[in-house]
Amino acid sequence: MAGKSGRTIDATPKTSIKSRVLSWESGLIVIFIAVLIFGSIVSKSFTFSNVLREMPKYLSELFMMYAMGFILVIAEIDISVGAIVCLAGTMTCFANRAGAPLIVQIIVCIGVGFLCGCLNGVIATHFQELPTMIITLGTQIIFRGIAEVSMGSGGSVSLSDTMGFAKIGGMVGPFPIAFFLIIIAAVIFIFVLSRTTFGRKMYAVGSNRTAALYAGIPVQKIRQICFTLVGTMAGVCALFLLATSFGANTTTGQGFEMDVIAMCVFGGIATTGGKGNLVGATIAGFTIVCLRIALGQLNMSGQTILVIIGILLIVSALIPGINQSVKNRRKAIAAK
Amino acid sequence: MKKQVVSVVLTAAMAAGMLAGCGSSASSSTSSTSSASSSAASTSASSAASTSSSSSAASTSASSEAVASTSGAAGVGEASGKYALVPKSAGNPFNEREASGFQDALKALGCSDDQIIVSYPDNPTADSQITVIQSLISQGVSSIAVAANDASALDAALKQASDAGIKVCTLDSDVDADYRSVFCNQAGVKEIAQALMDAVYDISGGSGEYAILSATSQATNQNAWIDAMKQIAESDDKYADLKLDEIAYGDDEAQKSTDQTQALLTKYPDLKVICSPTTVGIAAAAKVLQDQKSSVKLTGLGLPSEMKEYIGDDDSHSCPYMFLWNPIDLGALAAYTSVALVNGTITGAVGDTFTAGDLNDGNPYTITENSDKASEIILGQPFKFDPSNIEEWAEVY
């Protein structure tokens, strides 16, 4: 792939069948199947219907994962999403207790997420010298603070009318409703990132922001849209979380930001930006969910599960690096 | 091309490693559970015999206790299902003693290791407990005994459990009465609040400022006790000269509880007494007060083994006396209740009676109604630990 200048362009997408078969995503599918086989060997409760029934609790996080994938692709990070989930959940509980109709509660939930994401975006685009890690660290404390203050001394608030949310958390046959929505969201997000000019622009911003700017890409507009989107999806996450927990407390959403970033990284999206896709992230998300369910059925302690997932994550982050160094060494040998 | 092969091989190796890792850790965790429960057996045995002070007597009576329990089991029937306990959090000594009491009682009823499931949530939150409960439903257990981290967040999960035919009871910290059969209460809310309020009154000399160091702000039992303390303080003129400065929350984390204690000391120079109705909080506060040689005194609910070096009447000790119930007995009561519910000996309705091994000196427990018209079983009165008995109890739990 050497151009006229003799330089190689590594980032050019490869589309040959061979490269598809041997891609990170196919590796993930192998791991996913391995997890399923492992689950059914170690736990006889690891059946299709049981896994689907246990899933909604974890599925809510996947909504955020797609938008977080966008954020990582443009080489940003948002660690305030867990706090947004907490704030959106809290406000929705208050709306519920005030007797608002279900549609208003849904609007409140997603609306709070939208506003929080918008705020992150406005700060990020107007104070560009600030790293987004610091911005969202600050807004995280603010969002969680507002939620905690409004919850008052009890530290928790619950839904008074759970009818509507019980429906949202309901099942169609063996499938939870959230499962279908996750699939729809997956299709939309994957399409936007891989098949639209907007998606290409995001990769451009993530690969080299200055070059993207000179190429006429509205960098700040794209950042604003991505941050707003991840906030909105955090609101959606809060909605489905409420449908399983029927209430919010000061610890709601704690650690979610790290969970979704972990899923993205495991799915092959680089935190340095411009690399990876959401197909990988989706498979990785479901792999982690199924692994957690399987290990949970062994009554393994939660901490042990986290250790295993942590190891998995570090190994998966290392493999591209090892791959690269092998490639470099081979080049060096070839050059001699 | 070769590099891609390498990456596939690495991926496969990783998957294989993961499988191997999971497999071995699963088996090792099972073995560690069994060893832990066997060591717990001796702990509980000695607690049962704690009235006789010599430890040799405790070990010899271990076998007789098992026999007594088995004969008393007629009260709840055969234990043939799978019984699960979901404690509040891992790494909390109080929860671990509850779990050991639960395991022992079931073993005394003839349960094997794989009939007893103790499943700790990964965080001390209701959200994590939901995950655990969902997993237990999948495993098709017969009963779930849960110490709830939130009064209402577990409702949906527990309803699913009930719908799946699983008997649900709570211990230590309750949920909404509609979603469980019965609550195993360690001691009546009023009795605990009265004991704590009287301790504050006594230690402060009848007047002055005091503060409360609680666990998390949403813990059901903590809030019930604190509310009851406030009511007692308002309803009786005896407590009119006592002023509650602040309710601080240490989230049952040692470091945060330490920080909160220090903040209380800085903010309120006239503070006389800190009351901490949580085992983690009282231990952290005791260390801070004693290290700083503070004149502020401490009382509350604490584990004797953790509080041994802080309990004393003189100025070099920070805590004159404190209270607790026996977490081992509470766990055991939850176990007997679970078995009785599964066998239909009790339904959880007010007025049902059953004998729980040699708990309550072998006398039957009766299900009573609490102030919220919900059914509960009260384990007994809170027990006072002071310099005269702390040495003896510190060896028990």
Q: What is the pLDDT of residue B38?
A: 36
Q: Mind listing the pLDDT tens digit of every residue in chain B (397 residues)?
A: 455 555 555 555 555 544 444 443 333 333 333 333 333 333 333 333 333 333 333 333 333 343 344 433 346 777 788 999 999 888 777 788 889 999 999 998 888 888 899 988 877 778 788 889 999 999 889 999 999 887 777 888 898 899 999 999 999 888 888 889 899 888 778 888 888 998 999 888 888 899 999 988 877 788 888 999 999 988 888 888 888 888 999 888 889 899 999 999 999 988 989 999 998 899 999 888 888 888 888 999 888 888 888 888 887 888 888 888 888 889 999 999 999 999 888 888 888 888 887 777 777 888 888 777 788 888 877 888 888 888 877 776 7
Q: If pLDDT is split at 50, 70 and 90, which confidence band does A54 have?
A: confident
**Interchain CB contact of A245 with B (< 8 Å):** yes
Q: What is the pLDDT of residues A73-95, one digit of tens each?
A: 999 999 999 999 999 999 999 99
Residue to substitute from B5, B8, B22, interface A, most A β-carbons within 10 A: B22
Task: Let me know whether B64 and B111 are in one domain.
Answer: yes
Q: What is the pLDDT of residue B121?
A: 85
Task: Let me know whether B37 and B164 are in one domain.
Answer: yes
Whether the Cβ atoms of residue B365 and residue B355 lie closer than 8 Å to each other: yes
Task: Let me know whether B174 and B203 are in one domain.
Answer: no
Whether the Cβ atoms of residue B317 and residue B48 lie closer than 8 Å to each other: no
Domain presence at residue B83: yes
Q: What is the pLDDT of residue A137?
A: 94
Rounded to an integer, the average pLDDT of A169-184 is 87
Element housing B322 (H / E) = strand B322-324
Q: What is the pLDDT of residue A152?
A: 75
Contact criterion met (CB < 8 Å) for B3 and A42: no
Domain presence at residue B16: no
A183 pLDDT higher than 90: yes
> Mean pLDDT, chain A, as a whole number?
87
Contacts B11 to A, Cβ<8 Å: 27, 30-31, 319
Q: Which residues pair with A2 in a beta bridge?
A: A8
Domain presence at residue B241: yes
Domain presence at residue B251: yes
User: How many domains does chain B contain in total?
Assistant: 2
CA–CA dist A24, A319 (Å, integer): 10
Residue to substitute from B152, B159, B178, B256, interface A, most A β-carbons within 10 A: B152
Task: Let me know whether B82 and B168 are in one domain.
Answer: yes
Task: Let me know whether B307 and B372 are in one domain.
Answer: no
Contacts A147 to B, Cβ<8 Å: none
Contact criterion met (CB < 8 Å) for B139 and A43: yes
Task: Let me know whether B197 and B301 are in one domain.
Answer: yes
Whether the Cβ atoms of residue B18 and residue A36 lie closer than 8 Å to each other: no
Q: What is the pLDDT of residue B376?
A: 87
Range of the domain at A210: 54-254
**Interchain CB contact of A328 with B (< 8 Å):** no
Q: If pLDDT is split at 50, 70 and 90, which confidence band does A13 have?
A: low
Pull the structure tokens for residue B322. 């404190």
Contact criterion met (CB < 8 Å) for B122 and A305: yes
Q: If pLDDT is split at 50, 70 and 90, which confidence band does A218 have?
A: very high
CA distances from residue A15 to A204, A299, B140 in whole angstroms, order as listed: 19, 43, 47
User: How many domains does chain A contain in total?
Assistant: 1
Please report, for the domain that includes residue A120, its CATH number.
Answer: 1.10.3470.10
Contact criterion met (CB < 8 Å) for A166 and B130: no
Interface of A with B in 277-316 (CB under 8 A): 292-293, 295-306, 308, 311-312, 315-316
Q: Which residues pair with B375 in a beta bridge?
A: B369
Q: What is the pLDDT of residue A104?
A: 94
Domain presence at residue B4: no
In Å, how far is B250's CA from the nearest CA of chain A? 13
Task: Let me know whether B230 and B131 are in one domain.
Answer: no
Please report, for the domain that includes residue B140, its CATH number.
Answer: 3.40.50.2300
Q: What is the pLDDT of residues A294-325, one digit of tens each?
A: 988 888 877 788 888 888 888 877 876 777 77
CA distances from residue B307 to A168, B144, B194, B207, B300 in whole angstroms, order as listed: 48, 31, 22, 26, 11
Domain presence at residue B2: no
* CB-facing half-sphere around the CA of B64: CA atoms within 13 A: 8
Task: Let me know whether B278 and B356 are in one domain.
Answer: no
Q: What is the pLDDT of residues A103-116, one digit of tens each?
A: 999 999 999 999 99
Q: How many CB pairs under 8 A join A and B?
A: 171
Range of the domain at B278: 189-324
3-state secondary structure of A227: helix
Task: Let me know whether B217 and B309 are in one domain.
Answer: yes
Q: What is the pLDDT of residue A6?
A: 55
Task: Let me know whether B115 and B206 are in one domain.
Answer: no
Who among A58, A246, A319 is closest to B156 (CB)? A246
Q: If pLDDT is split at 50, 70 and 90, which confidence band does A14 have?
A: low
Task: Let me know whether B194 and B315 are in one domain.
Answer: yes
- The vertex-B174 CA angle with B383 and B81, nearest 5°, equals 95
Domain presence at residue A292: no
Task: Let me know whether B367 and B319 are in one domain.
Answer: no
Q: What is the pLDDT of residue A2?
A: 46
CA–CA dist B211, B306 (Å, integer): 21
B272, B294, B324: which is the final residue of a domain?
B324
pTM summary value = 0.71
A3 pLDDT higher than 60: no
CA–CA dist B182, B178 (Å, integer): 10
- The vertex-A36 CA angle with A34 and A42, nearest 5°, equals 100
B279, B298, B324: which is the final residue of a domain?
B324
In Å, how far is B284's CA from the nearest CA of chain A? 22
CA–CA dist A294, A46 (Å, integer): 6
